[in-house]
């Protein structure tokens, strides 16, 4: 099998799986307990917090462990809301775990603005600038689009915020960026940054929220007061430790070079076919967004699966819904969206596998296209 859907989820590191088992079956203590073994576990969790901050190049701030990016995004957004005539700004390209929270805020009566995307996949910066004012409470954007790989200029947004709405909080969904591209959270001046372990070879069901200043945040989960009261519930120690292993192991620069090489190779193979259209994205080399003229993307995805090549049609969290909000916002037509696929890389791939996948994609596409002509 050649796995090319790493934007949906990644294979867990073997070493991380072994560490998970250790903390599930041997060092299984509750970090909230008062005896020595539990206190040691708490210290080890704090070491993972330090790893996350180091990967973000942060010199300060806090890290709250969560059950994954969906919870991190919910905590960042719902934990920042305040009653009153505040305004909230979101990207049309946001993952469902931000976009649907925004829609819920709107349903509750808050003033919510949605920023459209440019043709290159980035948010419309001029629209963000026009919306910013002294009532702006929160700006929430994705660092890297899970659908297209487009990278938003977070520093540009941060500078606009500082000039026009200095009291507003800036939340960034960093799920497709963390451990994949270089991030300097202090330079970007981001207040809240979400991440999810299973996107960078950690386990599913665990993530974190980086918080620059914990004071403006309010808890949305109540209980025993774990995570300094911001996320009650016994910490997922095995998951957190395995996540820490994945963070420590990730070589951002080396993996980025590999992804760039694979991206360039596959694009060069697919572009030879004039009926295969690669979207013009300013983005991460980990993701290729493309559409296949005259062929349904889901049909092609299933045909490729039969040949041992796994690709995606878009966000794995919204595959059962009609249309594609992100591509629609970028101006793609209905037929282009129906023909869309997403290919995404990881460090376990080889050049031979990518080359083989390219050959199979072209073969299967042309077989299907011949049937519909």
Do 163 and 308 sit in the same domain of this protein? no
Q: Is residue 25 flagged as an active site residue?
A: no
Do 74 and 205 sit in the same domain of this protein? yes
Domain hosting residue 320, numbered range: 2-9+251-372
**What mean pLDDT comes out for the span 194-211?**
98
What's the pLDDT tens digit per position in 145-170?
Answer: 999 999 999 999 999 999 999 999 99
**What mean pLDDT comes out for the span 290-298?**
96
What's the pLDDT tens digit per position in 93-124?
Answer: 999 999 999 999 999 999 999 999 999 999 99
236 has pLDDT over 80: yes
Distance CA 284, CA 334 (A): 25
Domain holding 277: CATH number? Answer: 3.90.1150.10
Do 193 and 49 sit in the same domain of this protein? yes
> Which of 228, 249, 270 is where one domain is finished?
249
78 has pLDDT over 50: yes
- Give which of 216, 227, 171 is closest to 48, Cα–Cα: 227
Ordered strands of the 287-292 beta sheet: 276-278, 287-292, 340-344
**What mean pLDDT comes out for the span 324-340?**
94
Distance CA 193, CA 198 (A): 16
> What sections of the chain are H helices per DSSP?
14-25, 36-55, 69-78, 96-107, 125-131, 154-164, 185-188, 237-249, 252-270, 297-306, 325-329, 334-338, 351-372
* Catalytic option among 317, 360, 362, 368: 317
pLDDT band, residue 219 (cuts 50/70/90): confident
Do 165 and 227 sit in the same domain of this protein? yes
> Which of 216, 249, 282 is where one domain is finished?
249
Do 182 and 320 sit in the same domain of this protein? no
Do 188 and 256 sit in the same domain of this protein? no
What confidence score (pLDDT) does residue 281 get? 86
Do 268 and 307 sit in the same domain of this protein? yes
Do 185 and 305 sit in the same domain of this protein? no
Q: In 156-212, at which residue ranges do the beta strands (DSSP E only) sit?
A: 169-173, 192-196, 207-211
280 has pLDDT over 90: no
> Domain tally for the chain?
2
Left if phi > 0, otherwise alpha if psi is -120 to 50, otherwise beta: which for 311? beta
Lowest-pLDDT choice from 65-69, 107-111, 277-281, 292-296: 277-281
> Which of 249, 271, 292 is where one domain is finished?
249
Query: Pairing state of beta strands 2-3 and 340-344?
Result: unpaired
What confidence score (pLDDT) does residue 321 get? 52
User: SS3 letters for 129-167?
Assistant: HHHCCCCEEEEEEECECCCCCEECCHHHHHHHHHHHCCC
Distance CA 64, CA 72 (A): 8
Asked if residues 7 and 225 have their Cβ atoms less than 8 Å apart, the reply is no
Do 184 and 264 sit in the same domain of this protein? no
Query: Pairing state of beta strands 207-211 and 62-66?
Result: antiparallel
131 has pLDDT over 70: yes
What confidence score (pLDDT) does residue 322 get? 53
Do 257 and 242 sit in the same domain of this protein? no
Domain holding 29: CATH number? Answer: 3.40.640.10
Do 245 and 256 sit in the same domain of this protein? no
**What mean pLDDT comes out for the span 6-11?**
98
Structure tokens belonging to residue 77: 């957004």
Do 37 and 179 sit in the same domain of this protein? yes
pLDDT band, residue 221 (cuts 50/70/90): confident
What's the pLDDT tens digit per position in 343-364?
Answer: 999 999 999 999 999 999 999 9
Considering the chain, what is the average pLDDT of its residues? 95
């Amino acid at each position: 099998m050649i796995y090319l859907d790493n934007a949906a989820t990644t294979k867990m590191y073997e070493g991380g799986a072994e560490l998970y088992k250790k903390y599930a079956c041997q060092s299984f203590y509750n970090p909230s307990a008062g005896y020595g073994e539990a206190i040691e576990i708490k210290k080890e969790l704090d070491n993972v917090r330090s790893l996350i901050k180091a990967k973000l190049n942060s010199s300060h701030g806090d890290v709250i462990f969560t059950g994954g990016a969906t919870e991190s995004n919910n905590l960042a957004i719902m934990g920042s809301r305040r009653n009153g005539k505040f305004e909230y700004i979101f990207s049309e390209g946001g993952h469902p775990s931000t976009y649907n929270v925004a829609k819920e805020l709107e349903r509750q009566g808050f003033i919510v603005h949605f920023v459209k995307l440019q043709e290159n996949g980035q948010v419309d910066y001029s629209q963000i600038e026009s919306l910013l004012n002294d009532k702006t409470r929160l700006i929430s954007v994705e660092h890297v689009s899970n659908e297209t790989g487009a990278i938003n200029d977070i520093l540009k947004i941060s500078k606009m915020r500082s000039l026009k709405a200095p009291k507003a909080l800036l939340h960034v969904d960093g799920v497709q960026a963390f451990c994949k591209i270089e991030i300097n959270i202090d330079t970007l001046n981001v207040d809240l940054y979400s991440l999810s372990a299973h996107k960078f070879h950690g386990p599913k069901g665990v993530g974190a929220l980086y918080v620059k200043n914990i004071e403006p945040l309010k808890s949305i989960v109540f209980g025993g007061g774990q995570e300094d009261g911001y996320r009650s519930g016994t910490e997922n120690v095995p998951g957190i430790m395995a996540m820490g292993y994945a963070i420590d192991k990730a070589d951002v620069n080396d993996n980025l070079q590999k992804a760039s090489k694979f991206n360039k190779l596959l694009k060069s193979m697919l572009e030879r076919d004039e009926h295969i259209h690669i979207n013009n994205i300013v983005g991460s080399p980990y993701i290729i967004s493309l559409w296949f003229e005259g062929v349904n993307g889901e049909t092609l995805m299933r045909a490729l699966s039969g040949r041992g090549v796994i690709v995606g049609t878009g966000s794995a969290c919204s595959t059962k819904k009609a249309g594609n909000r992100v591509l629609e916002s970028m101006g793609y037509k209905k037929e282009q969206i129906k023909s869309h696929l997403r290919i995404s890389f990881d460090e376990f791939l080889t050049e031979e596998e990518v080359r083989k996948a390219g050959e199979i994609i072209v073969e299967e596409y042309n077989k299907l296209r011949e049937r519909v002509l």
